[in-house]
Structure 1
Amino acid sequence: MTIKISPSLMCMNLMEIKQQLAVLNTRADFLHVDIMDGHYVKNITLSPFFIEQIRPHTPLMIDVHLMVEEPTDFIAAVAKAGADYICPHAETINKDAFRVINQIRTLNKKVGIVLNPATPVSFIHHYIHLLDKITVMTVDPGYAGQPFIAEMVEKIAELKALKQQNGYKYLIEIDGSCNQKTYSTLLDAGAEVLIVGTSGLFNLDDNLETAWDSMSQNIKQAVRVLRESA
């Protein structure tokens, strides 16, 4: 079972950003950057400028989650800043989804789509084959530390089945409450990329190396449980 880990940088200690990036650079698979506009969600977090600042200091893929009402206002800027994946919410591109996907592709970036808890997989049916990654929100978007929405397990399993049946190449990513309590459930359903934030990584210990080791042990234990129950 191959599991990719994507730490959410909005949850890191920004006073120690260089030291924490140095730890993540040797351990993580992606770096997850949330950009919120204060309108699509009632919060404001990171920015294209933040991406530009960290890009020279990490070799990792930077995965940008656009929690914004108008993704086309941000796509060129985050691409120029150094993003590798650009991932708007499905609802925000419904009127021009193919144009937005083509814009991201033209910039030589990978295309992701984010599904809110109440948004069904059928919403992206006509362009699912064009996607490099699909992110399932297992909490409502906007804030860290929210409780897990168990109804999303069925959605993850649906994406796994569609991928297997049709030979789709997208990664199945989970955003929201990825931690010791949910790892087994998420991996069993078909999760391939786990976005870890406060509960999954950064709050496990003040020392990020120690926190990462704890997280790794929690994931290994979840995998063992799944193998023993198979």
Structure 2
Amino acid sequence: MPSPLICPSILASDFARLGEEVAALETAGADWVHVDVMDGHFVPNITIGPDVVKALRPHTKLPFDVHLMVAPVDPWLEAYRDAGADYLTVHPESGPHLHRTLGRIRQLGLKAGVVLNPGTSLSVLEEVIDLVDLVLLMSVNPGFGGQSFIPSTLKKIERARALLDAAGSRAHLQVDGGVTAANAGACVAAGADALVAGTAVFRGGPPAYADNIRALKTA
């Protein structure tokens, strides 16, 4: 079984040292940098705007996987493209026309992703599967870091993998929320090929990042 992509969420990093943090992630063997964008409206928290993403871009060559938890989402697509995003993932609930939003992301030259909350049906994915490069399954309800993994997500990963395979899709299947070395292996066995992890990567500071990432990859 191939090792999953590890996509550390900088929500769990030291915000006073963000540039150094993303550089350290690359050195430690991370595959992508996951950027959680929250607006205090769609979810109950406020995090990172496009100017911060732009400031981070020179500090690493890793792809920026930007998870937009904002509503309405469409007005922000170009700003994050210009800031240096590689992937933009959006929630079906964050705009009236998911199909159009995903098409616009691709038109901007970026990889497009759809995010499904624990209570969002996979049936949404069926209608836009030809437009997605990334499917992100939330294994917690979005808005805060440090939450516990919802066990029923494993069955949802299996069903999402079957759906992608049946459609011949090459989209990545990513899981985000409470991912640790204790459940990473189960996520991959269920069909995930990309894992977002916050606390599990950043625990122990930069000297521990490589070991923490390795533990997730080999779980």
Shorter-chain TM-score tier:
over 0.9
Matched, 1:176 2:177: yes
Q: Which residue number corresponds to residue 42 of structure 2?
A: 40
- Identify the structure with bigger relative contact order (alpha carbons < 8 Å, sequence gap 6+): 2
- 1:107-118 equivalence runs, <5 A: 107-118=108-119
Q: Which residue number corresponds to residue 201 of structure 1?
A: 201
Asked if 2 retains the 8 angstrom alpha-carbon contact of 1:156 and 1:190, the reply is yes
1:84 counterpart letter in structure 2? D
Determine the C-alpha separation between the residues in 1 that align with 2:158 and 2:91: 20
Q: Which moved more, 1:45-54 or 1:120-129?
A: 120-129
Q: Which residue number corresponds to residue 213 of structure 1?
A: 211
* Cα deviation 1:174-223 (Å, max 9, x = unaligned): 1101102211211111111111101x1112x13x2323313413542x2x
* Cα deviation 1:145-198 (Å, max 9, x = unaligned): 111111111110011112222211110001101102211211111111111101
1:182 aligns to what SS in structure 2? helix
2:126 counterpart letter in structure 1? H
1:213 counterpart letter in structure 2? D
Determine the C-alpha separation between the residues in 1 that align with 2:215 and 2:62: 22
Q: Which residue number corresponds to residue 92 of structure 1?
A: 94
Q: Which residue number corresponds to residue 166 of structure 1?
A: 167
1:112 aligns to what SS in structure 2? strand
Determine the C-alpha separation between the residues in 2 that align with 1:63 and 1:214: 20
- 1:131-170 equivalence runs, <5 A: 131-170=132-171
Identify if the C-alpha distance between structure 1 residues 57 and 142 changes in structure 2 by more than 3 Å, giving closer, same or farther: same
In the TM superposition, residue 114 of structure 1 has moved relative to its aligned partner by 0.4
Determine the C-alpha separation between the residues in 2 that align with 1:145 and 1:116: 16
1:181 aligns to what SS in structure 2? helix
2:159 aligns to what SS in structure 1? helix
1:74 aligns to what SS in structure 2? helix
Q: Which residue number corresponds to residue 225 of structure 1?
A: none
Asked if 2 retains the 8 angstrom alpha-carbon contact of 1:30 and 1:60, the reply is yes
1:56 aligns to what SS in structure 2? helix
Number of matched residues? 217
Q: Which moved more, 1:22-31 or 1:145-154?
A: 22-31
Q: Which residue number corresponds to residue 122 of structure 1?
A: 123
Determine the C-alpha separation between the residues in 1 that align with 2:213 and 2:108: 35
Determine the C-alpha separation between the residues in 2 that align with 1:18 and 1:130: 32
- 1:73-92 equivalence runs, <5 A: 73-92=75-94
Identify if the C-alpha distance between structure 1 residues 86 and 135 changes in structure 2 by more than 3 Å, giving closer, same or farther: same
Q: Which residue number corresponds to residue 227 of structure 1?
A: none
2:23 aligns to what SS in structure 1? helix
TM-score by length of 1: 0.90
Q: Which residue number corresponds to residue 16 of structure 2?
A: 15
5+ residue gaps in structure 2?
none
Determine the C-alpha separation between the residues in 2 that align with 1:168 and 1:78: 25
Identity across matched positions, percent: 36
Determine the C-alpha separation between the residues in 2 that align with 1:167 and 1:52: 35
Determine the C-alpha separation between the residues in 2 that align with 1:113 and 1:147: 22
